[in-house]
Amino acid sequence: MPALLFDLDGTMLNSDPIHEAVFTELWQSRGLPTPEGFYIDQVHGRLNVDVFAEHLPDEPDPQGLSEWKEAQFRDRLPAPYPATPGVEAFLDHAEARGWQMAVVTNAMRLNAEAMLGAIGLRDRFEVIVIGEECAHGKPHPLPYLTAMEALGENPRACIAFEDSPSGMRAAAASGAYSIGVRSALSDADLRAVGAQMTIEDFTDPALPGILARIEGVAA
């Protein structure tokens, strides 16, 4: 049976506007340009420390800056917060069939807990893999491989849902069947970085057919 692996930001909830607002303020305070699309191009789905290493190479305490940025995000995240359409019903569908599930995210653990709590889905997941707690975060496949190991599943049985270039590359490299969520990127953009299929959200009429085919392969 399939095991479902979910990214969080932009996949299970559209929290990217909050992140973008914080990064806009941070970039402007450091004198960096913030043209339209800068967040998607420079930040989206990546570990903060990797972003800072590229764009703020002289930052004396990148980990401290990352923690400040994420505290800003948590302070601005309302609770409750809307989940991606259809995600709760989709989790119900998966649980009814006994499918295993995990969250695989580059968000720090405090953020992951806050986001899952805000959308009312924290109790649905026992396995939450945090990229910065692994030797490598996304776009390296290690976070996904770590989740597969925790669930006792092989890549052939796993379906990953992602929305960012970094995350999609990680999911595809792990060997999971990789489905892109078009919260920020187009079908073509997601396929270009490894998506095998894309959906608008978890109400997409293509999703049941995708799952039926995968369930047959994974059985």
pLDDT in tens, 21-32: 999 999 999 999
Write the pLDDT tens digit of every residue in 135-167: 999 999 999 999 999 999 999 999 999 999 999
Looking at the structure, do residues 92 and 193 belong to the same domain, yes or no?
yes
3-state DSSP helix/strand/coil % of the chain, to nearest 5: 50, 15, 35
Looking at the structure, do residues 69 and 102 belong to the same domain, yes or no?
no
pLDDT at 115 over 70: yes
Q: What is the CATH number of the domain that holds 114?
A: 3.40.50.1000
Give the per-residue pLDDT at 210: 85
Q: Which residues contact 136 (CB under 8 A, 6 or more apart)?
A: 142, 143
Looking at the structure, do residues 24 and 7 belong to the same domain, yes or no?
no
pLDDT at 175 over 70: yes
Mean pLDDT of 112-134: 97
82 or 211: which carries more pLDDT confidence?
A: 82
Range of the domain at 197: 3-14+82-218
Looking at the structure, do residues 164 and 96 belong to the same domain, yes or no?
yes
Looking at the structure, do residues 98 and 59 belong to the same domain, yes or no?
no
Looking at the structure, do residues 200 and 99 belong to the same domain, yes or no?
yes
pLDDT at 35 over 90: yes
Looking at the structure, do residues 170 and 100 belong to the same domain, yes or no?
yes
Q: How many CA atoms lie within 13 A of 53 on its CB side?
A: 6
Q: Are 129 and 108 in contact (CB under 8 A)?
A: no
Looking at the structure, do residues 68 and 103 belong to the same domain, yes or no?
no
Average pLDDT, the chain: 95
59, 76, 93 - which closes a domain? 76
pLDDT grade for 217, boundaries at 50, 70 and 90: low
pTM greater than 0.95: no
41, 76, 111 - which closes a domain? 76
Looking at the structure, do residues 113 and 123 belong to the same domain, yes or no?
yes
32, 54, 76 - which closes a domain? 76
Give the per-residue pLDDT at 184: 93
Q: Which residues contact 10 (CB under 8 A, 6 or more apart)?
A: 16, 44, 45, 163, 164, 181, 183, 184
Structurally, how many domains does the chain consist of? 2
Q: Are 217 and 196 in contact (CB under 8 A)?
A: no
pLDDT at 55 over 80: yes
Looking at the structure, do residues 43 and 88 belong to the same domain, yes or no?
no
pLDDT at 215 over 80: no
Looking at the structure, do residues 102 and 210 belong to the same domain, yes or no?
yes
Write the pLDDT tens digit of every residue in 78-105: 999 999 999 999 999 999 999 999 999 9
Hey, which residues are catalytic here?
Answer: 7, 9
Looking at the structure, do residues 114 and 173 belong to the same domain, yes or no?
yes
Mean pLDDT of 8-32: 96
pLDDT grade for 218, boundaries at 50, 70 and 90: low
